[in-house]
Copies of this chain bind each other. A is one copy, B any other.
């Protein structure tokens, strides 16, 4: 078993995930954001591995890393990929696995001298997490031609726009890109990703096939009140924007608790002027709301906005809401998913159908190509955390499934 080529390949994959996980913008922890210096180094590293697997490598104008092996003339293209950016203080599997595992799979297929009747393209998307510009999927949006002028105008905390960042990165003017492919030229898109949830662990399965990705709404809520002296403004005369925001955070939490699997998260908050002896005049919050049923998600958002207005009215505040992102739930392609499930059953005996609570690049790619997703068990369901972990044995199962899936498509 130890000398089995796929077992060896899985161990090499684990080592590469470790190595890529050390390519960071921050010392001592993994943070790799859109167009950062670490992202440039990551593209160089992964590009080298793509080349070693026989792929031709390029980077598009949005920093997406693309490794391609041509097929016969006129053949369609199978896309495989995920993202190479990370959250702050991230784990090393989220995103990276879906780029490095296909490289290993194509390497194995080349070792087997299997001639594919289609082209393959492995894509490492440059932006999925939304860390730098509070807007996710910038990489896949550029790749699929769905980036808009409004995306380019967004600013990071330093005030740099997406456009300025792209132009500095590419050292040339940035024009809104057309899709990398016509829909008719694509066979489909496969994304391999850690589950980031507890289901596979509970079911004691290494991998499972995703049937749908939950819909997601992200936006910015703001409460505006009035600054005042913390020592001399009686409680009854305050218009405290932070206290109003605190009420809304707890309302969001209670709302989601009542309707599992609804999840509502406020992960970012800023109060201004933000000093201890001044009552907050303004508080800005980021809301993230997800559910597999679009109607439930929309109803929850309406309830949250109504409550924001109610809190504001009662406290003499103003409430505002700016939508940053709104994705309906996405169903995976039936045909590809059936094939992928067959590969899973062939490798591990049984499949578990899963719904993804997290958004993935596949959400954006689904506008251009049928998509399929394979989830890999991760320890404790933990993700977006340095302790994020998928066992080498599970990586091997995922690799075998992916090889079987591509080989099956070739038949």
A residues at B contact (CB < 8 Å): 87-89, 129-131, 134, 136, 195-198, 214, 216, 218, 226-237, 240, 242-243, 245-247, 249-250, 253, 256-257, 260-271, 273-280, 286-288, 290, 324, 356-359, 381-385
The minimal Cβ–Cβ distance linking A76 to chain B, given in whole angstroms, is 31
Q: Which of B240, B276, B286 contacts A130 (CB 8 A)?
A: B276
The minimal Cβ–Cβ distance linking A77 to chain B, given in whole angstroms, is 29
Q: Give 16 CB contacts A-B under 8 Å.
A: A214-B231, A216-B231, A228-B382, A228-B384, A229-B358, A231-B288, A231-B356, A231-B358, A232-B381, A234-B260, A242-B249, A242-B266, A243-B249, A246-B247, A265-B279, A277-B384
- Determine if A233 and B381 form an interchain contact, defined as CB atoms under 8 angstroms apart: yes
Once bound together, how far apart are the Cα atoms of A214 and B234, in whole Å?
A: 13
- Determine if B230 and A288 form an interchain contact, defined as CB atoms under 8 angstroms apart: yes
Task: List chain B residues, Cβ under 8 A from A270.
Answer: 269
Closest B residue to A94 using CB positions? B229
Task: List chain B residues, Cβ under 8 A from A246.
Answer: 245-247, 249-250
Q: Which of B226, B275, B356 contacts A268 (CB 8 A)?
A: B275
- Determine if A271 and B260 form an interchain contact, defined as CB atoms under 8 angstroms apart: no
The minimal Cβ–Cβ distance linking A32 to chain B, given in whole angstroms, is 13
Q: Which of B229, B253, B286 contacts A383 (CB 8 A)?
A: B229
Closest B residue to A129 using CB positions? B277
- Determine if B196 and A229 form an interchain contact, defined as CB atoms under 8 angstroms apart: yes
Beyond known contacts A236-B260, A247-B250: 4 more, CB 8 A cutoff? A131-B275, A134-B275, A267-B276, A276-B288
Q: Which of B240, B260, B279, B385 contacts A228 (CB 8 A)?
A: B385
The minimal Cβ–Cβ distance linking A274 to chain B, given in whole angstroms, is 5
Q: Which of B196, B233, B256 contacts A263 (CB 8 A)?
A: B233
Task: List chain B residues, Cβ under 8 A from A287.
Answer: 276
Closest B residue to A128 using CB positions? B277
- Determine if A278 and B271 form an interchain contact, defined as CB atoms under 8 angstroms apart: no
Task: List chain B residues, Cβ under 8 A from A290.
Answer: 230-231
The minimal Cβ–Cβ distance linking A270 to chain B, given in whole angstroms, is 8
- Determine if A87 and B384 form an interchain contact, defined as CB atoms under 8 angstroms apart: no
Once bound together, how far apart are the Cα atoms of A263 and B231, in whole Å?
A: 7
- Determine if B260 and A267 form an interchain contact, defined as CB atoms under 8 angstroms apart: no
In the complex where A232-B383, A233-B381, A266-B242 touch, is A273 in contact with B357 (Cβ < 8 A)? no
- Determine if B267 and A277 form an interchain contact, defined as CB atoms under 8 angstroms apart: yes
The minimal Cβ–Cβ distance linking A385 to chain B, given in whole angstroms, is 5
In the complex where A243-B250, A243-B253, A267-B271 touch, is A196 in contact with B232 (Cβ < 8 A)? yes
Once bound together, how far apart are the Cα atoms of A133 and B282, in whole Å?
A: 22
Closest B residue to A220 using CB positions? B276
- Determine if B249 and A235 form an interchain contact, defined as CB atoms under 8 angstroms apart: no
- Determine if B266 and A383 form an interchain contact, defined as CB atoms under 8 angstroms apart: no
- Determine if A277 and B288 form an interchain contact, defined as CB atoms under 8 angstroms apart: yes
The minimal Cβ–Cβ distance linking A301 to chain B, given in whole angstroms, is 15
Once bound together, how far apart are the Cα atoms of A262 and B236, in whole Å?
A: 11
Q: Which of B231, B236, B242 contacts A196 (CB 8 A)?
A: B231
- Determine if B231 and A273 form an interchain contact, defined as CB atoms under 8 angstroms apart: no
In the complex where A230-B263, A234-B260, A288-B231 touch, is A269 in contact with B242 (Cβ < 8 A)? yes
The minimal Cβ–Cβ distance linking A93 to chain B, given in whole angstroms, is 12
In the complex where A130-B276, A267-B242 touch, is A195 in contact with B232 (Cβ < 8 A)? yes
Once bound together, how far apart are the Cα atoms of A237 and B256, in whole Å?
A: 12
Task: List chain B residues, Cβ under 8 A from A359.
Answer: 231
Task: List chain B residues, Cβ under 8 A from A264.
Answer: 235
The minimal Cβ–Cβ distance linking A217 to chain B, given in whole angstroms, is 11
Once bound together, how far apart are the Cα atoms of A351 and B265, in whole Å?
A: 54
